[in-house]
Amino acid sequence: MKYIADITVMPMKALLDPQGKAVTGSMKNLGLSEIENIRIGKHITLEIEASNKDIASSKIDEACKKLLCNQIMEFYEFTLRES
């Protein structure tokens, strides 16, 4: 069965996010000073072939830990649905 995963990888809350900070500054220049505390991470979608949802979920966990997420600086979350 084929599943689609939506993965979000974000910088850890305890760490500074310089990219987000720069964009927060740009919002003020655009007249959107109500917007603050921007944090920027990655959103990843992928398709996975697996016999059930548990197997798909553990494979995606493995992919996140080995490749998609640097767990020293980032954390990840994902949702899984049938395609």
Residue 63 interacting with its own copies (CB under 8 A): yes
Residue 80 interacting with its own copies (CB under 8 A): no
Work out whether strand 2-11 and strand 74-82 pair parallel, antiparallel, or are unpaired: antiparallel
Task: Please select the residue that binds its own copies; options are 39, 74, 75, 80, rule is CB under 8 A.
Answer: 39
Residue 48 interacting with its own copies (CB under 8 A): yes
58 phi/psi in degrees, rounded to 5: -70, -30
Distance separating alpha carbons of residues 13 and 19, to the nearest angstrom: 14
Amino acid identity, position 15:
L
Residue 81 interacting with its own copies (CB under 8 A): no
Residue 12 interacting with its own copies (CB under 8 A): no
11 three-state secondary structure: strand
Task: Please select the residue that binds its own copies; options are 15, 16, 28, 32, rule is CB under 8 A.
Answer: 32
